Amino acid sequence: MEIRDIIPYAKGEREVDLLVTNARLINVFSGTIEPQTIAIAQGQVVGFGEYPAQEVIDLQERFLAPGLIDAHCHIESSMVGIREYVKAVLPHGVTTAVTDFHEIANVMGTRGIRLMREGMGATPFNLYCMLPSCVPATPLETSGAEIRAEDLKDLMAEEWVRGLGEMMNFPGVIHGDPEVLKKISMTQAHGKRVDGHAPGLNGKELAAYIAAGIASDHECTTRGEAEEKLNQGMYIMIREGSTAKNLEELIPIVTPANACRCMFVTDDRHPADLIAEGGIDHCVRKAIRLGLDPVIALQMATINPARYFPLPEIGGIAPGYRADLVVLEDLKEFRISQVFQAGRLVADNGTILPRVIDEKKVKAENTVHLPKFSAERFRITAQGARAKVIELVPQQIITKKGSHEVKTHDGLAVADPQQDILKIAVVERHKGTGNIGLGFVKGFGLKEGAIASSVAHDSHNIIVVGAEDEAMAQAVHGIAEIQGGLIAVRDGKTLASLPLPIGGLMSDQSIEEVRDALNRLHQKVKEMGCTLEEPFMALSFLALPVIPELKITDRGLVDVTRFEIVPLFGEA
Amino acid sequence: MEIRDIIPYAKGEREVDLLVTNARLINVFSGTIEPQTIAIAQGQVVGFGEYPAQEVIDLQERFLAPGLIDAHCHIESSMVGIREYVKAVLPHGVTTAVTDFHEIANVMGTRGIRLMREGMGATPFNLYCMLPSCVPATPLETSGAEIRAEDLKDLMAEEWVRGLGEMMNFPGVIHGDPEVLKKISMTQAHGKRVDGHAPGLNGKELAAYIAAGIASDHECTTRGEAEEKLNQGMYIMIREGSTAKNLEELIPIVTPANACRCMFVTDDRHPADLIAEGGIDHCVRKAIRLGLDPVIALQMATINPARYFPLPEIGGIAPGYRADLVVLEDLKEFRISQVFQAGRLVADNGTILPRVIDEKKVKAENTVHLPKFSAERFRITAQGARAKVIELVPQQIITKKGSHEVKTHDGLAVADPQQDILKIAVVERHKGTGNIGLGFVKGFGLKEGAIASSVAHDSHNIIVVGAEDEAMAQAVHGIAEIQGGLIAVRDGKTLASLPLPIGGLMSDQSIEEVRDALNRLHQKVKEMGCTLEEPFMALSFLALPVIPELKITDRGLVDVTRFEIVPLFGEA
């Protein structure tokens, strides 16, 4: 609303659209809970108290809080398009996400960011973006795009872009990589934020990282780490994702004196979790259960991120603010009943209301570009008795460098399901280079067949694990046929698959369908002998060469500690 | 420092300039006090802990806090140029002021703002500006300049300008005055702040003012008022000036849950107070004495205003921040020993160090433009037995509307010192219009002569009070001769004067000389029978037609409640 239009509403001279009466308002400015009546016009809060109104909603002393803000997430991790993502989170009270389109950008570059934005349509949700800072994540892999500072110039000037996303290339910052510093300087010249990502960084290297202008961190895993970062002026984003869960460890560091520098983020949340537990509401709920004051927990999910970025129109309930409102049945269980976005009721009792989300399908675009090849490309000539083997660590995304005797056959090193030593390969799928990196992996437990995925952080090539070369080749070609996705193959047949035609990362179907398809896949992979709860998740992190110790990309096996491609045979 | 230059310092690869050891660091981010060593290079904090350093200062466990920030002030009220102002406040730990050059702008327009900025030279101080929003303050007076939205365009884009200064024209906001809204929109388009000034505004009018985008208020005088504004999303600036003192009343509203939305301001501080008590340090000291937690008090004087404006380079002690540091002997008495600005020791034990302030005199420029006139211009033809009389209220800037029988002589109404009814006049001094507003005033107690001043809020015409027309004319001409200032005249002689040649508001001499000259003036005015502690202060507010009840401008007597010029004779 223009200023001149809001004034007559605020003065009570014009009938407002909605009056919310008998609320117990959680006032995130004052930190108090007060009985209140809230007047709303044209999607904005215009005043407190009695107003002439077209519609009145009596909250009967239920609590009213501002809409929740996810201060850092990758929407791609929900494996659905933005409309479906919003459909999942709105009933959970999340009305705003600050997302880093790091995944789609690795596949499609800045064009992917624009496509995601366009995918929003008229969805009632506040979408803000931090621009991916590290595409590709490393020079040891082939990604679909490379984003240089120059490429971010136009986007950085846009209002919905609030800065530069998690600067995971902390060695680049610390060593003064000119291209990295250029991205930081450009962001600062716009007065915008640079988010951090520096797990375990401390001491003088941390000082250098902070001095370079990195404002926040969401990778703290211990209290000591979070406290060091907080003391040195960083904003702390406490993360509770689907895999990375730091909330229980970190909540004890939050005090009334530092709370305004803390906020919640989900980073990566998968479809089943989003539907069942929610996103930021889950963080608030868990924090309250762990003993944090509910008002502080709500400040961390609303006004704190709004001030950090800043997002001046949201994060609180006061004249001039967007009327993003969450009605709560209680503060202890943090049960959400209604959710309003820009003054409009969008969800009730955990269910999105009809016609809130435009059902128009997202336009998918094939990003899987793969030359045809035969199973022979997966052959490994034995060049020694022992080979390096990627060893999974249960529930972790780190791996161990193993060294095992490999089974050979006619001079070829082959998979040995008896010993749980399987073949793993990463097939470049962006540019048709025909690159294939080959290796061995231990920990999946597959007895037969192969599984493959085009979700493979961060470059999202096709990653495949199998007991037989034929099945592996078939799985990879199967992925190409569905234009990206997840697949399980056995005995020459596709047992189950989940097409992810949006960048090979996201489905164009509903989030419930994605959840169900994933469940089916998990069931089939279990029948193939796999012992992992989330085999595709485990698979997706094996191509990420910034997480120790041994990983694989389309260029070959990567010793992460040495940060170089290493030969497959020989000791680890 | 460029990012690439600070990194090697932070990593400890290059010798830093200064290492401050054995500090008890007041960490405004975490709200804790921790033993710490701070490394400083090229004026910035680069890291914590041991570093190779050219110089080491051992604090022997004294406290170390960030430099203090005055979030709203009018430097002109110190009656000296910026260098002298800084000389006074730096030893008090104030390293940053966000100033609204409202006074000089009323005299010289935006050119006055630029001249003030230039007057800084290389002074080691952080000067930020909020652009005057209301010049002139009302249409009932003649100011030296008029500033429209268009005139602020260039300045608003400058980095040192953080927004639009106190929007005292709150009726203009509430009634949607297009020129006022244009100023607000322009500020918001730059992502900058609009400060408020709305004494006593509440209810729906307050909602309209806030909804229009006004972010802060420094005019709260009661707890209820401050709480209402805070609850509706305003930032609260708690003021402790030389005249307006609200700190004792307002400190009880500050809680750990809302403190990060509160800060301290001085608004107007006079030379003697600045020298003796200081500025923001006085607020912190008094708040602590009143029971506020010292760390919260310090946050309100440092990181809170830094986040509000925002001023991302200051307000805390952490890598990348400017090394503005205050060494404290204790937290209870808040005794300041050393002060560092940008890593350089600038004050020690209450004294500014030699060569910190460039002694170059400010270039004064005559802004007093007055046609010669005779004492006859002060004659008042008696048009009735009773006249309206401005009645002073001790210690307040409001006045009462009085009505008294006036002494007449030869058909003229004359001053009657026996009854303490004196003549008062405001002489237009900017444009040579020859405008003179005439009236009567009660409360000065002058028995003879006249006193005059070119400091007369907000238009700063010449205001004069006297027992005789001749003395009044002589006082006004005396002001013109010294190109603005304060003066006391008796028996055809100037008893004392303080020239204020910078805009008729500020001296080009040292702040100590100004203080001493003011003391001499006060002494002389006392000898003339005046009973007021600060007669020139009282005088300066009598021309301010936004403060009730009866005031006077160059256009005549103003009934503030009716907001119009009223005839002198008749009942009040």
Closest CA of chain A from B4, distance in Å: 6
Does residue A111 carry a pLDDT above 90? Answer: yes
Write the CA distances from B135 to B148, B167, B273, B410, integer angstroms.
8, 11, 27, 41
Task: Give dist(CA A315, CA B536) in Å, integer.
Answer: 47
Coil, helix or strand at residue A35: strand
The verdict on a CB contact (< 8 Å) between B211 and A258 is no
Question: Which residues of A are less than 8 Å from B4 in CB distance?
Answer: 176, 178, 181
Alpha helix positions (H), A269-363: 271-276, 280-289, 294-301, 303-308
- Mutation target for B interface from A2, A7, A25, A167: give the one with most B CBs within 10 A: A7
The pLDDT-based confidence of A360 (bands split at 50, 70, 90) is confident
Q: What pLDDT score does B360 carry?
A: 75
Give per-residue pLDDT as tens, B16-69.
999 999 999 999 999 999 999 999 999 999 999 999 999 999 999 999 999 999
User: DSSP H helical segments within B212-344, as ranges?
Assistant: 223-231, 247-250, 271-276, 280-289, 294-301, 303-308
pLDDT score recorded for residue A546: 86
Q: What is the pLDDT of residue A358?
A: 85
H-type helices in B370-510, by residue range?
469-481
**Mutate: best of A32, A33, A232, partner B, most B CBs <10 A:** A232
Give the Cα separation of A229 and A220 in Å (integer): 9
Does B204 contact A12 at a Cβ distance shorter than 8 Å? yes
| pLDDT at res. B365 | 85
**pTM (2 decimals)?**
0.96
pLDDT of residue B212: 98
Per CB-CB distance under 8 Å, the chain B contacts of A191 are 191
CB distance B178–A12 less than 8 Å? Answer: no
Q: What whole-number distance in Å separates Cα of residue B94 and Cα of residue B326? A: 9
What distance in Å separates the CA atoms of residue A225 and residue A253, rounded to the nearest whole number?
Answer: 10
Contact A462, A476 (CB under 8 A): yes
Residues on chain A touching B320 (C-beta within 8 angstroms): 210-213, 233
Q: State the average pLDDT over residues A298-326.
A: 98
Which CA distances in Å does A536 have to A3, A470, A502? 51, 20, 18
User: How many angstroms separate the CA atoms of B391 and A540, rounded?
Assistant: 81
Q: Are the beta carbons of A256 and B258 separated by less than 8 Å? A: no
Across the interface, of B11, B211, B233, the residue whose CB is closest to A29 is: B233
Q: What are the tens digits of pLDDT across the range A379-430?
A: 999 999 999 999 999 878 889 999 999 999 999 999 999 999 999 999 999 9
DSSP code of residue A63:
E
CA distances from A285 to A290, A331, A334, A509, A557 (A): 9, 9, 6, 29, 42
- Cβ A462 vs Cβ A453: under 8 Å: yes
Q: For A316, name the nearest residue in chain B, comparing CA atoms only.
A: B233
pLDDT of A572 above 80: no
In sequence order, the β-bridge partners of residue B196 are B167
A512 close to A520: Cβ distance less than 8 angstroms: no
Question: Which residues are paired to B154 by β-bridges?
Answer: none
Query: Which residue among B12, B27, B211 places its CB closest to the CB of A10?
Result: B211
Taking Cα atoms as reference points, which of B231, B115, B332 lies closest to residue A29?
Answer: B231
Distance CA B572, CA B552 (A): 14
Min CA distance, B205 vs chain A (Å)? 6
> Nearest CA to A325 among A307, A338, A312?
A338
Q: Which of A43, A61, A64 is nearest to A122 (CA)?
A: A43
B476: three-class secondary structure by DSSP: helix
For residue A25, the chain B residue with the least C-alpha distance is B231
Q: Which amino acid is at A385?
A: A
Q: What does pLDDT average to over chain A?
A: 96
Cβ-in-10-Å burial (0-12, 13-18, 19+) of B173 comes to buried
Closest chain B C-alpha to A71 CA, distance in angstroms: 18
Structure tokens at B69: 């920030």
**Cα atoms in the 13 Å half-sphere on the side-chain side of B539:** 33
| Amino acid code (one letter) for A254 | V
A257 to B213: CB separation less than 8 angstroms, yes or no: no
Nearest chain A residue to B10 by CA distance is: A208
User: How much is the pLDDT for B546?
Assistant: 86
pLDDT at A363 over 80: no
Which residue, among A9, A11, A253, would best test binding to B if mutated, counting the most B CBs under 10 Å from its CB?
Answer: A11
Check if the beta carbon of residue B321 is closer than 8 Å to that of residue B284.
no
- Rounded to whole angstroms, the Cα distance separating A180 from A173 reads 6
* Min Cα separation B530/chain A (Å): 47
Both tokens of residue A300? 């961390």
User: Which range has the worst mean pLDDT, A248-252, A362-366, A385-389, A490-494?
Assistant: A362-366
DSSP A453: E
Contact between residue B215 and residue B193 where contact means Cβ atoms under 8 Å apart: yes
CA distance B523 to B536: 12
**Cα separation of A363 and A387, whole Å?**
44
* pLDDT tens, per residue, chain B with 572 residues: 999 999 999 999 999 999 999 999 999 999 999 999 999 999 999 999 999 999 999 999 999 999 999 999 999 999 999 999 999 999 999 999 999 999 999 999 999 999 999 998 899 999 999 999 999 999 999 999 999 999 999 999 999 999 999 999 999 999 999 999 999 999 999 999 999 999 999 999 999 999 999 999 999 999 999 999 999 999 999 999 998 899 999 999 999 999 999 999 999 999 999 999 999 999 999 999 999 999 999 999 999 999 999 999 999 999 999 999 999 999 999 999 999 999 999 999 999 999 999 877 777 889 999 999 999 999 999 999 999 999 999 878 889 999 999 999 999 999 999 999 999 999 999 999 999 999 999 999 999 999 999 999 999 999 999 999 999 999 999 999 999 999 999 999 999 999 999 999 999 999 999 999 999 999 999 999 999 999 999 999 999 998 899 999 999 999 998 989 999 998 87
Q: How far is CA A490 from the centre of its chain?
A: 31
pLDDT at A373: 93
Nearest-angstrom CA–CA distance, A89 and A96: 9
Whose CA is closest to A427, among A452, A456, A461? A461
Res B547: pLDDT? 86
Q: How far apart are CA B425 and CA B467, in angstroms?
A: 12
Q: Measured between CA atoms, how close is B347 to chain A, in angstroms?
A: 26
Instruction: Give pLDDT tens digits for B264-286.
Output: 999 999 999 999 999 999 999 99
Query: What φ, ψ does residue A140 adopt, rounded to 5°?
Result: -95, 15
DSSP B417-454: GGGTEEEEEEE--SS----EEEEEEES----SSEEEES
Task: Please indicate whether, in this complex, the C-beta atoms of A208 and B319 are within 8 angstroms of each other.
Answer: yes
Which DSSP category does A267 fall into? B
Q: Is B252 left (phi over 0), alpha (psi -120 to 50) or beta?
A: alpha
pLDDT at position A571 is: 80
Distance CA A520, CA A513 (A): 11
Q: What is the pLDDT of residues A435-457, one digit of tens each?
A: 999 999 999 999 999 999 999 99
CB atoms within 10 A of CB A559: 18
Instruction: Name the helix (H) or strand (E) containing A524.
Output: helix A511-527
How many contacts does A have with B, using Cβ atoms within 8 A? Answer: 180
**What whole-number percentage of chain A has pLDDT above 90?**
94
Of A29, A213, A233, the CB nearest to B261: A29
Distance, CA of A117 to CA of B481 (rounded, Å) = 67
